């Protein structure tokens, strides 16, 4: 057990997948930045939904449809409350964080970004918060600019004001870097962008599961969320958008639920949030995500954040004691990720040897190639943490890394 008020054994008992052997060793799961495992409460919510309530939402007049609609809309309200949005019409269900960014790039972008305009991102972004903007800029003849990163893994914010020009139409920044764990001072960034009249999208894929996110306090225009990174199911995510901004955006995809009436001549679009939810949504995913947020609250985000900090500190110290290992990303504030390279050993070889020891980590560019190239490397080993990890998991990682050293000695 680590962290004073945190019963990690009790938390682990809620995650059935963790209690298995992999390659004859107890599973040590250190890949939660890729996807988190699911507590029994989420699995039960999915089974309950499909066992009792399954029907399509909004259009039905029968009891099951009423129940599934109530569950789906209840999930929307649950998420609104979790991130402290003003209104449920600001909560748009999407497939994941990637789809949330694509929605904004396509809908907001195509209507507000034109030839000669600029889109500002950072060198720290996941490909999901780079490529949609590149596609937009290519399409409309705009320029994509990047806030650079320093050698510690912090954004060079002294350059931000100069990079925000009168041509900048949007700034898109990650809240937490998936490759380094850097937590960006996003509230300050939003303030500085707004001072120049530039709206801000925050990529929250790596934030929600680690600490409290309050979209009103951050004052961001958009916040993109991923359900599967926050102990919820895959296939569900959320785009939060300020109602005033969403109201000004054209629909993105066309189809059921985003319309009020259709004739061959004309379609009248539905109101928010349905205007951006074309087709049958991932109803069970929304229900599962709501259950995941209930679970996070039952454990307590403050306790989770303290546990995270303890593990991160313990892990950084333990890893730095390994000869030839270099940690990447020593930013001012970090969360959830230990990213490193080992002298003379390729990250993929480290990953393969660790897997034989039952330790699941990720090796590669973590969909953040521009960032890794800033550090002059093509790949790192990434151990990423969640509330169910323990100091013993870190010890197992360290033992595995000593094995790697022996193999490559």
Which residues are known to be catalytic?
A: 367
3-state SS, residue 8: helix
CA distance 137 to 115: 8
Query: In the bound complex, what is the minimum distance in angstroms from residue 178's beta carbon to ligand PMP?
Result: 3
**Cα separations in angstroms, 125 against 87, 120, 206, 216:** 28, 11, 12, 23
237 binds ligand PMP (CB under 6 A): yes
By CB under 6 A, what part of segment 316-375 binds ligand PMP?
367
Nearest Cα to 325, choosing from 226, 249, 404, 240? 404
CA distance 285 to 275: 19
Q: Which of the ranges 15-23, 91-99, 141-149, 310-318 carries the binding residues for ligand PMP, by CB under 6 A?
A: 91-99
96 binds ligand PMP (CB under 6 A): yes
Nearest Cα to 32, choosing from 304, 327, 317, 333? 304
CA distance 294 to 79: 10
Query: In the bound complex, what is the minimum distance in angstroms from residue 129's beta carbon to ligand PMP?
Result: 6
Query: In the bound complex, what is the minimum distance in angstroms from residue 32's beta carbon to ligand PMP?
Result: 11
205 binds ligand PMP (CB under 6 A): yes
173 binds ligand PMP (CB under 6 A): no
CA distance 134 to 143: 8
Query: In the bound complex, what is the minimum distance in angstroms from residue 105's beta carbon to ligand PMP?
Result: 13
CA distance 305 to 211: 6
Site residue total, ligand PMP (CB under 6 A) = 14
Task: Work out which of 90, 117, 154, 203 binds ligand PMP, going by CB under 6 A.
Answer: 203
CA distance 154 to 331: 5
User: Which parts of 79-167 are beta strand (E)?
Assistant: 91-94, 118-122, 143-147
With respect to ligand PMP, which residue has the nearer C-beta, 89 or 126? 126
182 binds ligand PMP (CB under 6 A): no
Q: Which of the ranges 54-62, 70-78, 90-98, 159-167 carries the binding residues for ligand PMP, by CB under 6 A?
A: 90-98
Q: Which of the ranges 121-129, 140-148, 163-171, 307-315 carries the binding residues for ligand PMP, by CB under 6 A?
A: 121-129
Minimal CB distance to ligand PMP: which residue? 96
Query: In the bound complex, what is the minimum distance in angstroms from residue 371's beta carbon to ligand PMP?
Result: 10
128 binds ligand PMP (CB under 6 A): yes
CB 125 within 8 A of CB 153: no
Query: In the bound complex, what is the minimum distance in angstroms from residue 103's beta carbon to ligand PMP?
Result: 12
What are phi and psi for residue 163, nearest 5 degrees? -80, -20
Q: Which residues bind ligand PMP (CB under 6 A)?
A: 96-98, 126, 128-129, 174, 178, 203, 205-206, 226, 237, 367
């Amino acid at each position: 057990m680590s962290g004073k008020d945190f019963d990690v054994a009790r938390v682990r008992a809620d995650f059935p997948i963790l209690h298995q052997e992999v390659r004859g060793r107890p599973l040590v799961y250190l890949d939660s930045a890729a996807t988190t495992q699911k507590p029994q409460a989420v699995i039960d919510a999915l089974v309950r939904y499909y066992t009792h309530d399954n029907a399509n939402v909004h259009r039905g007049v029968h009891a099951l449809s009423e129940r599934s609609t109530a569950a789906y809309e209840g999930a929307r309200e649950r998420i609104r409350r979790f991130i402290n949005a003003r209104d449920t019409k600001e909560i748009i269900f999407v497939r994941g964080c990637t789809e949330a960014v694509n929605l904004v790039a396509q809908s907001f972008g195509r209507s507000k970004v034109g030839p000669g305009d600029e889109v500002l991102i950072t060198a720290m972004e996941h490909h999901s918060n780079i490529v949609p903007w590149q596609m937009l800029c290519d399409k409309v003849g705009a320029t994509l600019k990047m806030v650079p990163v320093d050698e510690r893994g912090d954004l060079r914010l002294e350059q931000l004001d100069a990079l925000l020009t009168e041509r900048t139409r949007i700034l898109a920044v990650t809240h937490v870097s998936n490759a380094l764990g850097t937590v960006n001072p996003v509230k300050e960034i939003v303030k500085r962008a707004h001072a120049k009249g530039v709206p801000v999208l925050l990529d929250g894929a790596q934030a929600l599961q680690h600490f409290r996110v309050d979209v009103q306090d951050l004052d961001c225009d958009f916040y993109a969320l991923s359900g599967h990174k926050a102990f919820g199911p895959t296939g569900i995510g959320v785009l939060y958008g300020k109602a005033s901004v969403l109201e000004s955006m054209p629909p993105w995809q066309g189809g059921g639920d985003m319309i009020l009436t259709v004739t061959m001549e004309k379609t009248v679009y539905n109101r928010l949030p349905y205007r951006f939810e074309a087709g049958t949504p991932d109803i069970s995913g929304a229900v599962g995500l709501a259950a995941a947020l209930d679970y996070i609250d039952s454990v307590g985000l403050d306790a989770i954040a303290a546990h995270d900090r303890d593990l991160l500190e313990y892990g950084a110290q333990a890893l730095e004691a390994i000869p030839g290992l270099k940690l990447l990303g020593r930013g001012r504030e970090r969360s959830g990720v230990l990213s490193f390279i080992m002298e003379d050993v390729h990250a993929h070889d480290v990953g393969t040897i660790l897997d034989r020891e039952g330790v699941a980590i990720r090796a590669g560019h973590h969909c953040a190639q521009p960032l890794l190239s800033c550090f002059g490397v093509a790949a790192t080993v990434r151990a990423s943490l969640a509330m169910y990890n323990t100091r013993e998991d870190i010890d197992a990682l360290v033992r595995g890394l000593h094995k790697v050293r022996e193999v490559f000695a």
